[in-house]
A and B are shown apart, each in its own frame.
Chain A
Amino acid sequence: MENFAIHIHESYLYGLPLSVVNLIVMFGAAFVVLLGFVAPFAGLLSFIERRIAARIQCRIGPNRVGPQGLLQFLADGVKSLFKEDLIPKVADKPLFIIAPYLVFLGMFTSFVVLPFSSQWIVADLNVGILYLFATAAITVVGLVMAGWGSGSKWSMLGGMRSAAQIISYEIPTGLAALTAILLAGSLSLQEIIAAQGPHPWQWYFFDNPFTFIAFFILFVALVAEGNRAPFDLPEAETELVSGYNTEYSGMRFLFFFFAEWAHLYVLGAILTTLFLGGWQVPESLLASVGAESIAARILELVFFQLKIYVLVFLVVQLRWTVPRVRMDQMMDMCWKYLVPIGFFCVAGVAIWMMLFPDGVSFVKYLLIAFSSAMVLYYFYKVYRNFKDSRAELELNPFV
């Protein structure tokens, strides 16, 4: 970033003081990240989610706008822009208007610290992972504000639920993340990735049994924090109409969903960074394109994206195949299971690090074998379900 600013200063804007150029570059980067990057990602994810959901429900899904319906999100965006902006009479007008932007802000500021490759990161903060969790706090405030500002009982209940949920699940999230932080000895996302390696046996996911468990805790907790099914109680249709976004329409409504899909992406990015080696690419592959070239950076970006999209696919599939849990079950799971197991994992990792500073390769291979078996079983189950459903539609993804 700084080098880039200096470069621009020397070649184009040498009339201006360096600090002003720095500021321009910073705002420019924020602008590019938000508009050119996050919005298409959220849009693309909405497309992926809708297509997968359609397949799971034996429908076709959006396939008319653009190739295979890829541009559906643009059409939806334009439609929402032209819709009438309704504000209920009993709504608390200022709060009602601000709330979607706060939710949006909380979600999108987290993109600033995501490490897309070894050099492509807007700001490599020393406290990157804490920053990611802190931005979630702003989202909570936005959701509560939306719930209150709408002046409707459904919205209010939805807002309260989401606040309770996000606050509760922040604890297992933090504990599970702590295991990776302990191993890496740093809070910076880049350093955590650098401490891992490109190969599965170098990832923290397989480092020891405790991180293996912590990964799943983090996965569940992050899904719950994003208000995603099976934990989407704040917007449970059967109970609360649509929860905190009941009264919203048009672009404001879309902002909530932007944030939701952005969170889906951030979820994948956090898990990939902490446990799955982030952008790490095998050295031989890196050497074949030149370690310092731009192609290497793109390769890293592709690896990072691939891991994220696998996780995103899992979360989407989870949403459309698992029924919603009850509110008390949800809180029970957090406080009675995830939090104690999280503490157990943190202590376990600390002890493991003391006993085996170099790691135990036998345990790593055992864990890899176990997860491979799990993945195989998963594919087998999905295959069986496809076969049993006997839907021609399901077997051809490009109808």
Chain B
Amino acid sequence: MLDSLQPLVFGMLALIIFISAAFITFSRNLIYSAFALLGSFTGVAGLFAMLGADFLAVVQLLVYIGGIMVLYLFAVLMTSGIGDVRLTNRSIAVKIALPLALVLFFSLGKLIFETEWFAQQTVKIAPTTAAIGDLLLTKYLLPFELVSVLLLSTLIGSVALARQELRNSKENHD
């Protein structure tokens, strides 16, 4: 319904993503960088929504902002004196980084300009949730199960690590 406005919306989202990404990279304050992730993640969720991937858009918000970003914030805020560190991203080997960045830039640029893009004329907006669920439990069952096993082992591992620390600190107190 908003076909003619799509370039405008895309431009706005791209601008949001770009500005917040630049802010994340160039900000001298780690806290600001962490908070700027919000703009970047929301922008990507907006892009997903624009492409008709409604489920992915919401999950992007839920997982990246609700989970990952808040975890970052936790780590950043728990570190004492984090606001005093003003040295981030200042002197990380420019001699190596610059050529690498240039190579990446030109190869990506070459890729973008040489690829034949097929412009999809009409994006069919349809609910995707049911289809994703079906595929996860039929075609991609094995990867799905593998990921869940991985997550479970991570969970158990972190619990084991946390318990060990608890036991050690108790022994020290005694």
Contacts and interface: CB of A to CB of B under 8 A. Distances in A.
A159 B78 CA distance: 12
Interface string A163-181: 1100100100000000000
A125 B66 CA distance: 20
Interface residues of B, number: 29
B61 A125 contact: no
Given A131-B58, A141-B35, A167-B66, A156 B2 contact: no
Interface of B: 1-5, 31-32, 35, 38, 54-55, 57-59, 61-62, 65-67, 69-70, 73-74, 77-78, 83, 127-129
Given A23-B5, A127-B54, 19 more contacts: A19-B2, A94-B32, A126-B128, A126-B129, A134-B59, A134-B61, A134-B65, A135-B61, A136-B66, A138-B38, A140-B66, A140-B70, A141-B38, A141-B70, A159-B77, A164-B74, A167-B66, A167-B70, A188-B127
B77 A133 contact: no
Contacts of A188: 127
Contacts, number: 88
B55 A141 contact: no
A170 to B, nearest CB: 7
Nearest to B129: A187
A156 B74 CA distance: 11
Interface residues of A, number: 36
B74 A160 contact: yes
Nearest to A134: B61
Contact of A134 (B66, B127, B128): B66
A19 B66 contact: no
Nearest to B73: A144
Contacts of B59: 130, 134
Interface of A: 2, 17, 19-20, 22-23, 92, 94-95, 102, 125-127, 130-131, 133-138, 140-141, 144-145, 147-148, 156, 159-160, 163-164, 167, 170, 187-188
A372 to B, nearest CB: 36
Contacts of A160: 74, 77-78
A309 to B, nearest CB: 28
